[in-house]
Amino acid sequence: MSVTTNANDTTRAATRNTIQRALVLEAVRSLHNHPTSADVYEVVRERHPNISRATVYRNLGVLASRGDVLRVEVPNGADRYDFFNEPHYHALCRSCGQVSDVDMPYQNDLADQVRDAQGFAIDGHQIIFEGLCPSCQKR
Amino acid sequence: MSVTTNANDTTRAATRNTIQRALVLEAVRSLHNHPTSADVYEVVRERHPNISRATVYRNLGVLASRGDVLRVEVPNGADRYDFFNEPHYHALCRSCGQVSDVDMPYQNDLADQVRDAQGFAIDGHQIIFEGLCPSCQKR
DNA sequence: ATACATGCAAACACTTTGCAGCACA
DNA sequence: TGTGCTGCAAAGTGTTTGCATGTAT
């Protein structure tokens, strides 16, 4: 019987483990400050100078859709990435745009408090706290 | 005594009431679907064809900072504007990007539940519910 | 009269995409 | 050995800015 490739493994799409992808993942895991794609690019480039921005963007996308990293979509700013993958909330600095994790219980039943969502089928939420980060408070 | 302009009125910066600004405000007030700047531009252009995008952007900024309209900064999408200026929450359609108001009590004391915000001075928050809008549910 | 506002175009920040060649499985 | 991935460049989207001119007050 000729089984072509690995027809049994339907759990994950065929993806390749390239050096670039591994370096991108490693960079996000090592940077605990919600790096932007530009931050990741700079770090990866130290070890792999020829990598292109497009590859970083593409791999951040792949890793995020796999759940290996968390994409934090910041209003009016570059996306940021988080090595921490449990659902949680973020604080955004109004002044410098820095993002931090916020330690607060996850509100699993928040949508229950919604009285009317104009017919939307709500399946998730995010909370972004706004304020000033420690260093911007001092200025 | 020569009082130059209106030196007594220190409450508001000197702004001019231009046709363009009035039309932008009117457009946001008439569009109850959280228009983007592009939507506003299109509407204003019907009556004032020569208006430039830059003027629309500048006026939306002025009106938002005055509090005449509410700017809704959507992650990964164009800013949207709301004629409704009380604090409230929004729902974002994952599929088409449409934004709707959500009827839910405003959580004035939400920040009290934060155990640790890494030293951030939190002064506000936003909640964005995510899901599918009515028309995208049917597809 | 003067300074804020406009229109235009260019620049900007961030991200995606088309394509030819490369390399992992 | 094939197709997923890469690097490059170009294009795309949304927004801001420099500058000369215009206009509300």
DSSP string, A10-59: -SS------HHHHHHHHHHHH--S--BHHHHHHHHHHH-TT--HHHHHHH
Measure B91 CA to nearest chain A CA, in Å: 7
Question: B80-96 as b/e, with b when 16 or more CB fall inside 10 Å?
Answer: bbbbeeeebbbbbbeee
pLDDT tens-digit readout, A65-86:
999 999 999 988 999 999 987 8
Q: Does position A9 have pLDDT exceeding 50, yes or no?
A: no
What CATH code is carried by the domain that includes residue A1? Answer: 1.10.10.10
pLDDT reported for residue B14: 81
Neighbours of B137 (CB within 10 A): 13
Give 10-residue mean pLDDT values along chain B (139 residues).
Answer: 38 81 98 96 97 98 95 93 90 92 94 94 95 90
B129–A137 CB contact, under 8 Å: no
**In terms of domains, do A12 and A77 share one?**
yes
What CATH code is carried by the domain that includes residue A99? Answer: 3.30.1490.190
**In terms of domains, do B80 and B91 share one?**
no
pLDDT reported for residue A4: 39
pLDDT reported for residue A50: 96
pLDDT reported for residue A13: 62
**In terms of domains, do B71 and B93 share one?**
no
**In terms of domains, do A70 and A40 share one?**
yes
**In terms of domains, do A7 and A51 share one?**
yes
pLDDT tens-digit readout, A25-64:
999 999 999 999 999 999 999 999 999 999 999 999 999 9
**In terms of domains, do B127 and B78 share one?**
no
pLDDT tens-digit readout, A70-126:
999 998 899 999 998 788 999 999 888 999 999 999 999 999 999 999 999 999 999
**In terms of domains, do B118 and B54 share one?**
no
Picking from A121, A127, A137, the nearest residue to B121 by CB comes out as A137
Measure A4 CA to nearest chain B CA, in Å: 35
Give the distance, in angstroms, between residue A64 CA and nucleotide D9 C1'. Answer: 26
Mean pLDDT, chain A, integer = 89
Cβ < 7 Å from strand C, A residues 56-85: 57-58, 61, 77-79
**In terms of domains, do A99 and A81 share one?**
no
Task: With H, G, I as helix, E, B as strand and everything else as coil, classify residue B20.
Answer: helix
pLDDT reported for residue B13: 61
Nucleotide nearest to A53 (CA to C1'): D7
Residue B55 domain boundaries: 1-85
- Which residues of chain B have a Cβ shorter than 8 Å from any chain A Cβ? 73-76, 79, 91, 93, 100-105, 110-111, 113-134, 137
Q: Does position A7 have pLDDT exceeding 50, yes or no?
A: no
**In terms of domains, do B4 and B40 share one?**
yes
| C-alpha to C-alpha distances, A15 to A3, A18, A51, nearest whole angstrom | 19, 9, 18
pLDDT reported for residue A127: 96
Cβ < 7 Å from strand C, B residues 10-49: 14-16, 18, 20-21, 48
Alpha helices in B1-139 (DSSP H): 19-30, 37-47, 53-66, 134-137
How far apart, in whole angstroms, are the C-alpha atoms of residue B81 and residue B70? 6
| C-alpha to C-alpha distances, A114 to A117, B74, B88, B106, B126, nearest whole angstrom | 7, 20, 11, 10, 15
What total number of domains does chain B contain? 2
**In terms of domains, do A13 and A42 share one?**
yes
**In terms of domains, do B2 and B70 share one?**
yes
Contact flag, residue A22 CB and nucleic strand C, below 7 A: no
